[in-house]
């Protein structure tokens, strides 16, 4: 269901290639980095040898509100789902986040 908008985006790009005139790899990387800075979290993990490794992860509690604020239809989807199946203490919602970079 979340992918249903992709065909319309592809069709718009096919019929209006000028939409990509000002899009560059640098601009896409910059936009991606901006999102990353807003949702990242630094954590330290202890290793078996006693050393500690610092890594950065995505903080899901920051990612979901960001997506909802960026696109009204995404937020609407969640509000409709909440109306149909409200989360509660006995039946909380779960959040699964996946990345294609892994």
Task: Indicate whether 1 pLDDT > 60.
Answer: no
φ, ψ for residue 44 (rounded to 5)?
-120, 130
In this structure, what token pair is assigned to residue 88? 């509660």
Q: Decide: 42 and 56 in contact? Cβ < 8 Å.
A: yes
Per-residue pLDDT of 40-79, as tens digits, reads: 889 999 999 999 999 988 887 887 788 777 777 777 888 8
**The pLDDT value given to residue 97:** 64
User: And the tokens for 66?
Assistant: 């960001």
Beta bridge partners of residue 52, listed in sequence order: 46
Contact indicator for 41, 75 with CB cutoff of 8 Å: no
Q: Report the distance separating Cα 48 and Cα 80, nearest Å.
A: 46
């Amino acid at each position: 269901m979340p992918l249903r908008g992709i065909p319309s985006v592809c069709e718009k790009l096919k019929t209006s290639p000028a939409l990509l005139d000002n899009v560059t790899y640098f601009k896409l990387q910059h936009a991606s980095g901006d999102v990353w800075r807003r949702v990242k979290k630094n954590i330290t993990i202890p290793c078996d040898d006693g050393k500690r490794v610092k890594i950065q992860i995505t903080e899901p509690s920051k990612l979901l509100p960001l997506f909802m604020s960026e696109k009204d239809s995404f937020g609407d989807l969640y509000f409709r789902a909440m109306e149909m199946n409200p989360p509660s203490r006995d039946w909380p919602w779960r959040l699964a986040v996946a990345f294609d970079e892994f």
